[in-house]
Amino acid sequence: MNLTDREILELNELCNAMVDGTITDAQHARLSTWLLESEPAREYYVRAVGQSASLHSYAAEMHAEAAQPEPISFWSWSRRSVWIAGALAAAACMAIVFLAVGQRFHPDVRSPNSKSPVYVARLSAARETKWSGSDSLIPGALLHKGQHLELAKGFAEVTFDSGARVVLEGPTSFVINSAWDSTLTHGTLKASVPPQAIGFRVVNRSVDITDLGTEFTMSANADGITDVLVLKGEVEAAPRSADDQNTILLKESDARRFEVSGVSTVSKNAENFARFAEFEPVNRFSSDFHYAHWSFDETSTPMLGRYAGAVTNREITGALEGAPANLAQARTGGQWQQALRFDGELRARTSFPGLSELTPHTISFWVKVSEDSPLSDAYAMVAWRANTPRLAYRPVQISWNRNPNEGALGALRTDFSGGCALGTTSLRDGRWHHVTVVVTPNEEASIPLQVKQYVDGRLESSTIIPGRFRGPAGVADAEMNDVVWLGCRLGNTGPRQERFRGELDELYIADRALAPQEIVQVMTENRIPASAIARADAPTTVAKF
């Protein structure tokens, strides 16, 4: 059945929103349903989105032709090659491979081109470990993209920033590819993947395992023969054998052997299942730290917070700033009891000891932004000013993205001197979202912070877009140190007139990088888990970080 004119108009609008990155959840659901149920709708969608692909192509060709002639550097070649490869027919296949695996198409926009390591995981626990080569890792050690772990003996647990946890049993050779991806070269591992890390992968030369929320073990020998046993839930296994690359769904208690020659069943070895079920290390990383919590529930003093740690527990003060009429309407129902409503006039201030220093911190809160919130209300939800020349004494601001050229409109955005981090989920949908931003110092001068952003407990981004425009640097100002501003844009010398409009609830700030599972616990239980706070008399493995 053909589409009516009215349906075509609606479908056209949905396709435009999809291509422009402005699609709302409701629109996305509507489009998905349509594409699921109607072949004419699918055909219209493919033609309309295909037209945008063609427009990208024509625009890039004209753009390239208009550009000044220049020597074809590797990067200019890479950026253009999508569209004008015809002019470069002499390039060899190896060049394609080098280009593709070595860098991205837009390193100048998307990638920090970082010389310093990008940390994506942590060694969270260990037992009787012995590392090969020069490695000498202890619990708490940060692990970077591309890092090879050569565990000669013992057990080591790696917690990825995505929340996935992998226990290695030596001898094992393991590579950390990203927060979502790893390679088991040989050895044995057990992976535990919570819901927020669904999609985590472990690959090797025989099979790609994509976890669908589960626990599984994987054991590979030097020849690549790999046994996979699913302990809980299910995984998707894509064999890499030449003959059979059909994906296999493995469910609880399923086991398969993957090798270059094909896939075979494995006798369900009860001893193996039992052994892996108790496959746990003991020496778990913990560190002393402090945190503050503002619930916004106190009627007379909504900005009263509590600052706590292993041996500390005291109040922390703050204030709402605005006209009496704004203050009277500042309280509203929140995700947990009461929340603060920022109406475009109101702002608030409080403090957190040490926040302005270039040390690890975690900032977490609930936020609700209306679906029709104008771009002019997209200023900082939470902001503070850095007290370090490495951040040019400029503010760090957490807001939602109002620049569709740089990322999804409404997505979580953290700006600092040197760049910004951008998420993907739009916060601008009238619903409560839990937001966590983890900032840690970076060794590289041009990008002094690593920023990891979690939305609703799920890691969204850890890539920094380098800043292209910088205003004047600030100067040291003790008055501004450690002051936390809510609901307003922050300049080098103090708050500006631009405001955030929306609601905030349950603000937590901690002076260390919380682990993914701790972030989920803060979200679901509205408290810092007791296990995360080291007792004063308990030995700590690594201080902070």
Partner 1 sequence: MSLSSESQKQLMALMTRHQRQIFAYIYTLVPRRHDAEDLLQETSVVICEKFEEFTPGTDFVAWACQIAYWRIRYSRQKYARSKVVFDQTVLDLVARTATTLAPELDARHEALAVCLQKLNSRERDFVLTRYEPGSGVEEAARRSGRSLDAAYKALTRIRKLLFDCVSHQMAPGGTA
Q: Minimal distance in Å, beta carbon 118 to partner 1?
A: 15
Q: Is 479 exposed, middle or buried (0-12, 13-18, 19+ CB in 10 A)?
A: exposed
Judged by DSSP in three states, 152 sits in: strand
The Cα-based distances of 139 to 37, 117, 145, 519, 521 in angstroms read: 51, 18, 18, 19, 21
CB of 473 to partner 1, least distance (A): 27
In the complex with partner 1, the residue whose CB is nearer, 76 or 493, is: 76
Query: What gap in Å lies between CA 483 and CA 488, rounded to an integer?
Result: 13
Distance CA(111)–CA(145), nearest Å, equals 14
Alpha helices in 267-403 (DSSP H): 270-277, 324-328
Of 196 and 226, which CB lies nearer to partner 1 in the complex structure? Answer: 196
Half-sphere exposure of 537 (CA within 13 A, CB side): 0
Which C-beta is closer to partner 1: that of 1 or that of 89? 89
Q: Give just the sign of the alpha carbon dihedral 155, 160, 163, 164.
A: negative
* 216, 190 contact by CB (below 8 A): yes
Give the integer Cα–Cα distance in Å for 135 and 401: 41
- Of 70 and 278, which CB lies nearer to partner 1 in the complex structure? 70
Going by C-alpha positions, the residue among 426, 418, 417, 362 that lies closest to residue 399 is 426
- Using CA atoms, how far apart are residues 172 and 149, in angstroms rounded to an integer? 8
Q: Where are the alpha helices (DSSP H) in 265-305?
A: 270-277
The rounded Cα 451 to chain-centroid distance in angstroms is 9
**What's the closest the beta carbon of residue 139 comes to partner 1, in angstroms?**
27
Compare residues 181 and 345 and give the one whose CB is closer to partner 1. Answer: 181
Give SS3 for 230: strand
Shortest Å, Cβ 43 to partner 1: 6
Q: How far is the CB of 380 from partner 1 (least distance, A)?
A: 20
Cis bond leading into 194, ω under 30°?
A: no
Supply the minimum distance, in Å, between the C-beta of residue 403 and partner 1: 6
- Beta carbon nearer to partner 1, 32 or 221: 32
Token output for 143: 């692990």
Please give the torsion angle defined by the CA atoms of residues 55, 57, 63 and 69, in that order, rounded to the nearest 10 degrees: -170
Shortest distance, CB of residue 232 to partner 1, whole angstroms?
19
> Is residue 369 within 8 Å of 502, Cβ to Cβ?
yes
**Smallest distance, partner 1 to C-beta of residue 93, A:** 4
Please give the full DSSP string across 474-543, using - where no structure is assigned.
Answer: ----GGGTTEEEESEEE-SSSEEEEEBEEEEEEEEEESS---HHHHHHHHHHSS--GGGS--TTS--SS-
Which of 105/545 has CB closer to partner 1?
105
Which lies closer to partner 1 via its Cβ, residue 45 or residue 352? 45
SS3 of residue 66 by DSSP: helix
Query: Considering the complex, what minimum distance in angstroms separates the CB of residue 405 from partner 1?
Result: 4
Q: Please say which residue, 18 or 542, places its beta carbon nearer to partner 1.
A: 18
Q: Please answer whether residues 160 and 185 qualify as being in contact, where contact means their C-beta atoms are separated by less than 8 angstroms.
A: no
Complex with partner 1: residue 240 or 257, whichever CB lies closer? 240
Nearer to partner 1, 88 or 138 (CB): 88
Minimum distance from CB of 335 to partner 1 (Å)?
21
Q: In this complex, which beta carbon is closest to partner 1, that of residue 12 or of residue 317?
A: 12
- Distances in Å between the alpha carbon of 245 and those of 236, 240, 259? 12, 6, 12
Name the residue nearer to partner 1 (CB basis): 114 or 526.
Answer: 114
Give me the least distance between CB of 265 and partner 1, in Å please.
Answer: 24
Give me the least distance between CB of 360 and partner 1, in Å please.
Answer: 24
Least distance in angstroms from the C-beta of 436 to partner 1: 14
Q: Which of 529, 532, 526, 519 is nearest to 196 (CA)?
A: 519
